[in-house]
Amino acid sequence: MSYIERIWNTQQGLEDRFRRIGRGRFGRVLRLARKPTYDEFVKSSWIVGIGIGIVGLIGFIIYYIWLKVPPIISDVLGI
């Protein structure tokens, strides 16, 4: 198989994949998808922001525990 034939086959494969995007497993989801309204976007943004804040707070608490607890334990054990 020559170089040009391999390139041609690769191009055909890519074009076939793009043609099947709307028909496959996710085709129905893509057809039903729509742009959110302003209110939906604002509510989703708030929820995501609150979630990020909670995850950050949990991470900070774990960091603080790892920073402060080992010296306390070493003092109690006399190490």
For residue 26, the enclosing domain spans: 3-77
Q: Is 22:31 a contact under the CB 8 Å cutoff?
A: yes
Distance CA 41, CA 34 (A): 12
Please tell me the total count of domains within the chain: 1
Tens-place pLDDT, residues 22-60: 676 777 777 788 899 999 999 999 999 999 999 999 999
Comparing CA positions, the residue from 30, 32, 33, 14 lying closest to residue 22 is: 30
The 3-state DSSP class for residue 1 equals: coil
Give residue 28's pLDDT: 76
pTM for the predicted model, two decimal places: 0.55
